Structure 1
Amino acid sequence: MSAADIQIQALILVPACAVAAPLLADRLRRRLAVPTVVFEIVLGILIGPDVLGWASVGDFLGALSDFGLAMLMFLAGYEIDFARLRGGPLRRAGAAWLLSLTVALVFGALLNSDPLNGAFTGLVFTTTALGTILPVLRDSGALPTPFGSMTMATGAVGEFGPIIGVAVLLSGNSPTRSAVILGAFAIVAVTAVGLARRPRPAWVGRVMRRTLRTSGQFAVRTLILVLGTMVAAAVRLDLDMLLGAFTAGIVSRLLMAGAAEAEREAVDAKLEAIGFGFLVPVFFVVSGMTFDLESLLHRPGTLLLVPVFLLCFVVVRGLPAALLAPDLPHRDRAALGLYAATALPLVVVITTIEVDDGHLQSSTAAALVGAGLLSVLLLPLLAQRVLGRSAPPEPPADGPRGQAESW
């Protein structure tokens, strides 16, 4: 079969993997809560060049994967309600992340012969998979509690902080230039937030309601425009698109804050359908297809790095989060540390960027992603056991919001 045929075949196999992933996750749910993203990556590995060789990534699929990455970060920002988390939880979560960042950068520099590349690698250990832990918190009823607020704040900072780190450390700019560029983007972001918080004219609400279930889709198109504008601003300022996409999600949430609950829920469902029904699964399946499985399996030293990196996630990210939550009982602090150390989506994102920029070997990236896969398989389950639950209950009939399970 020619390379062109394999790329065309991928246009069928990638959506097929996206369909199979939630089915597999649902089958295992009663025994073990495995996030859908794990199956998306594993199935991508299976159909990719290193295993069955049924599919490869061409220009079109690569472009769709980039759109999926942007939508993933947009929905991450859209999920976070900073108004609810501000104050003590956000301050403590921020302090814990800064401590994690310091330890991670030093630790990464010591592990790598090139201290700069090691520092880039260390950034991976500061991430938290907020979307992975949200369904567990929501299903167990812990989300409205002080523990839930602290865990949400920890996850929010664990998403936002690494994105800022990517923008600064992986931009190739000097610290001074990076500070100036981030300041310029901050002005753009603050301006966008200010505009989003202003009362909207009555005609905007009328158009949104009239087109909510027609081909006009005014509200959804407006939010996609916000996404494109913020990504363009970030790229224009020589920042990574992740920062623009994440900020666009925050701005879009503020834009929808004044809408009626029924309208907001309808728009949320449409965004989730675009993101988690189409674009985001493409990104994760393609990430699996480009996963360097051969290096991971054929180099014993690389394979041994997987449990080592998993331990690094717990020590570098989880331990500071647990230590800086003194108001929680000991069990809750231990569970918070395990949740904080759960990482995968941003691990895939950051390692992909680092490999493309030549800062990280593909074999090391494979070990990091492997550790991320283990973290989402093991750490939330351990956290539930620490809290006294062996597994999350079955969701209610209407189910949790789509994005939580998809991450």
Structure 2
Amino acid sequence: MQTDGASGLSILIVLAFIIFTSPYFSKILRIPIAPIEIILGSIAGYLGLIGYNDIFHIVSEVGFFYLMFLAGTEVDLRLFFTIDKKILKAGIVYILILYLLSALLTFGFDLNRLFILIIPIMAVGMIFTLFKEYGREEEWLNIGMLIASIGEVISIILLTFVGAYMKFGAGSELLFSIIYLVGFLIFSMIGFKILNVLFWWYPQLKVILMPYYDNSERDIRLCMALFFSIIALMLYLNLEIAFGAFVAGTFIASFFDHKKDLPHKLASFGFGFLVPTFFVYIGSTFKLNAFMIDGVVKDAALIVGVMIGFRIISSFVFLNILGFKQMILYALSHSMPLTLLIAVATIAHKSNNISENFYFSFILASLTQAIIVTIGIKIIMGYKNKSLKT
């Protein structure tokens, strides 16, 4: 464990270099910034410029949680009550097909039962970064975020159960995890209903909590208070912190929409420091010499192919709604569950449910998906924009 001052100084210097230069590398290579930060982090780790450091690890985790919080600020919970029933039905069928295909593959090839959970896994963190690239007017991206929000809730619920089972077995700890998770979901729904009624009767409360003009930055302070409070609660309940951070973000989006500049203010800080730190850390955890281990690249390629392929197949339920090009873009947007895929792989490896080689394959697959998918979306969007101009 590297926690000495020299390693900390090296990490700070490398972080400063990557955070500053990644937008320029992105422009030159025409690759989105997130994969660039992951690649540079991996190279820095391989060269020994970045090692494990407690503070670096903690800041990167906060960056991940903050990314999930920002993703939540893009999801207004009220939309779930007004969403087009046709889109909602298609989204549910899409998720069911994903799990069905995963189950058929798992039992057909006698794979580890974890694949039923891993292949359909969804995460909104990387989808949120696409909003920075393509804006909020793209239909495929808005629907993708909405359905991914539902898919992530399902994924995290299953991950909580499976993680508790692998860690504690079928005992009281698993039962408590289920009770705490169900209790948190019920508490969140009740809180939403109460705040919805409260702000309907007393709309001025919103302005008191988040004034339109305020030199004290009370809007940011309230967001940070909510962010850290939910982390503390999830730590106390031993539940998935990322899920709590996402839910907290949705409350900001649902009840404080009068602050039009708030998402921009929150994102400016996140994407300028915390989120890049997380991506650099993720890159540094992957050892480039894993490419030389027999079977790692092959298994990673299969995982990538299956996860992307199954999403494209399942997304055909949106063909009449989005059209072919937007349908492919929708499927690709769901094909980079970077954070949750790494989380599942880590839990499975620590509980000895998968080998170290398979663990490296999952890490490589998660990084490869993020790079391939973001480049693929950029190419398709480029063709789409050219066709619109002509």
Q: Please say whether Structure 1 and Structure 2 have the same fold, judged by a TM-score greater than 0.5.
A: yes
- Equivalent residues of 1:185, 1:234 under 8 A apart: no
1:91-110 alignment, distance < 5 Å: 91-104=89-102, 107=105
Aligned to 1:250: 250
CA distance in 1, matches of 2:236, 2:184: 10
Aligned to 2:52: 57
SS in 1 for 2:359: helix
Q: 1:330 to 1:281 in 2, by over 3 A?
A: closer
CA distance in 1, matches of 2:212, 2:322: 47
CA distance in 2, matches of 1:288, 1:368: 13
Question: How far is 1:246 from its partner?
Answer: 1.2
Question: How far is 1:66 from its partner?
Answer: 1.6
Aligned to 1:43: 40
Aligned to 2:303: 309
1:279-318 alignment, distance < 5 Å: 279-295=274-290, 297-318=291-312
Aligned to 1:13: 14
CA distance in 2, matches of 1:385, 1:286: 27
CA distance in 1, matches of 2:37, 2:78: 33
1:374 corresponds to 2:363 = no
- Equivalent residues of 1:65, 1:282 under 8 A apart: yes
CA distance in 2, matches of 1:17, 1:305: 30
CA distance in 1, matches of 2:380, 2:54: 46
CA distance in 1, matches of 2:378, 2:34: 20
Aligned to 2:64: 69
- Equivalent residues of 2:77, 2:254 under 8 A apart: no
Aligned to 1:80: 75
1:138 corresponds to 2:135 = yes
> Which of residues 100, 123, 144 is equivalent to 1:151?
144
1:321 corresponds to 2:315 = yes
Aligned to 2:193: 194
1:365 corresponds to 2:359 = yes
Aligned to 2:383: 390
Per-residue CA distance 1:19-41 (angstroms, 9 max, x = gap)? 22222112233xxxx22111111
Q: 1:133 to 1:278 in 2, by over 3 A?
A: closer
CA distance in 1, matches of 2:109, 2:210: 53
Question: How far is 1:235 from its partner?
Answer: 2.9
Question: How far is 1:248 from its partner?
Answer: 0.8
CA distance in 2, matches of 1:392, 1:342: 23
- Equivalent residues of 2:117, 2:155 under 8 A apart: no
Q: 1:210 to 1:134 in 2, by over 3 A?
A: closer
CA distance in 2, matches of 1:357, 1:15: 35
- Equivalent residues of 1:344, 1:373 under 8 A apart: yes
CA distance in 1, matches of 2:104, 2:235: 29
SS in 2 for 1:171: helix
Per-residue CA distance 1:48-79 (angstroms, 9 max, x = gap)? 1xx21012121111111121121111111111
Q: 1:207 to 1:97 in 2, by over 3 A?
A: closer
- Equivalent residues of 2:75, 2:254 under 8 A apart: no
Aligned residues: 371
CA distance in 1, matches of 2:329, 2:209: 46
CA distance in 2, matches of 1:362, 1:211: 53
- Equivalent residues of 2:118, 2:341 under 8 A apart: no
SS in 1 for 2:310: helix
Question: How far is 1:44 from its partner?
Answer: 1.0
CA distance in 1, matches of 2:110, 2:52: 30
Aligned to 2:224: 224
Per-residue CA distance 1:163-198 (angstroms, 9 max, x = gap)? 333222223365765543322111221133234433
SS in 2 for 1:209: coil
| Stretch of structure 1 that moved more, 95-104 or 272-281 | 95-104
CA distance in 2, matches of 1:70, 1:319: 31
SS in 1 for 2:366: helix
CA distance in 1, matches of 2:33, 2:310: 26
Q: Which residue identity lines up with residue 96 of structure 1 in the other structure?
A: Y
CA distance in 1, matches of 2:249, 2:109: 35
- Equivalent residues of 2:128, 2:145 under 8 A apart: no
Q: Which residue identity lines up with residue 58 of structure 2 in the other structure?
A: A
SS in 2 for 1:23: helix
Aligned to 1:277: 272
SS in 2 for 1:165: helix
Q: 1:3 to 1:278 in 2, by over 3 A?
A: closer
TM-score (norm. length: structure 2): 0.81
Aligned to 2:260: 264
Question: How far is 1:305 from its partner?
Answer: 2.0
SS in 2 for 1:66: helix
Aligned to 2:184: 185
- Equivalent residues of 1:130, 1:156 under 8 A apart: no
Question: How far is 1:285 from its partner?
Answer: 0.8
SS in 2 for 1:81: coil
Question: How far is 1:311 from its partner?
Answer: 0.9
| Stretch of structure 1 that moved more, 89-98 or 327-336 | 327-336
Q: Structure 1 stretches of 5 or more lacking a match?
A: 394-407
CA distance in 1, matches of 2:220, 2:349: 34
- Equivalent residues of 1:132, 1:376 under 8 A apart: no
TM-score (norm. length: structure 1): 0.78
Q: 1:279 to 1:150 in 2, by over 3 A?
A: closer
Question: How far is 1:120 from its partner?
Answer: 5.3
